[in-house]
Chains A and B, each alone.
Chain A
Amino acid sequence: DAGVIQSPRHEVTEMGQEVTLRCKPISGHNSLFWYRQTMMRGLELLIYFNNNVPIDDSGMPEDRFSAKMPNASFSTLKIQPSEPRDSAVYFCASSLADLESETQYFGPGTRLLVL
């Protein structure tokens, strides 16, 4: 299995521009999570989906952030307009809910720098 795939791996943009991060979860997984890692706050949840339905977006910082999951194999996280404080590493993770495990598998992350 290819694991969780994220693109792009790196993104440098200017303040005010729109940024779109993409994620392909592991095939067959029914839960998808977006996390952000910063030095100050560590790894924190932004939003998660179960069976393509957003369950909790309380971690999304502001209305500038939005996420979609149009189907089981694809999700996007969009920031519009981007600001320098959005600079961080954004991780996507997926899991399969079952009785035995709730293990989440992470992608390699997208390192975002907003100038």
Chain B
Amino acid sequence: DQQVKQNSPSLSVQEGRISILNCDYTNSMFDYFLWYKKYPAEGPTFLISISSIKDKNEDGRFTVFLNKSAKHLSLHIVPSQPGDSAVYFCAASASEGVGGNTPLVFGKGTRLSVIA
């Protein structure tokens, strides 16, 4: 049973346009969400995160939106660049508070191709 779902395995976008990657989750205990970017033969690289007390977090070209009632989050990249081509993973955790971190539950990833 997948608790974090990325229903689009791949996405192609033209350079300069907006890329929107979607993620749905089922566990209402999740309160921290992250996006990771992964290039071949490398480990996932942290991109941006959002706490459940917020509905939007922005960092340069990257914005994450959280809709708790729909249990949905999305990552917007604008403008998209060829270097953004990678696999993007959505991840979630249910924090236990200060004193220890809890594991991340990952979606299966979306492969983004930005075409020049």
Determine if B83 is an interface residue (Cβ-Cβ < 8 Å).
no
Contacting residue for B109 out of A42, A56, A95, CB 8 A: A42
Contacting residue for A50 out of B45, B101, B109, CB 8 A: B101
Which label, helix, strand, loop or mixed, suits the secondary structure of the A interface? strand
Distance of A101 Cα from B102 Cα, bound (Å): 11
Please, how many residues of chain B have a CB less than 8 angstroms from a CB on the other chain?
25
The 8 A CB mask of A72-115 against B (1 = contact, 0 = none) is 00000000000000000001010101110111111111010000
Distance of A42 Cα from B87 Cα, bound (Å): 12
Which single residue of chain B is at the shortest CB-CB distance from A96?
Answer: B101
| A107 CB contacts on chain B under 8 angstroms | 43
Once A and B bind, how many residue pairs between them come within 8 Å at the CB atom?
63
Distance of A5 Cα from B16 Cα, bound (Å): 35
Which label, helix, strand, loop or mixed, suits the secondary structure of the B interface? loop
Distance of A106 Cα from B36 Cα, bound (Å): 10
Distance of A105 Cα from B45 Cα, bound (Å): 7
Q: When A42-B106, A43-B106, A102-B95 are in contact, do A31 and B101 touch as well, CB less than 8 Å? A: yes
A residues 27-72 near B (Cβ < 8 Å) are: 30-31, 33, 42-45, 48, 50-51, 55-56
Distance of A45 Cα from B17 Cα, bound (Å): 35
Contacting residue for A101 out of B36, B49, B89, B108, CB 8 A: B49
Determine if B99 is an interface residue (Cβ-Cβ < 8 Å).
yes
Closest 7 A/B residue pairs (Cβ): A106-B43, A50-B100, A31-B101, A43-B106, A42-B108, A45-B103, A97-B101
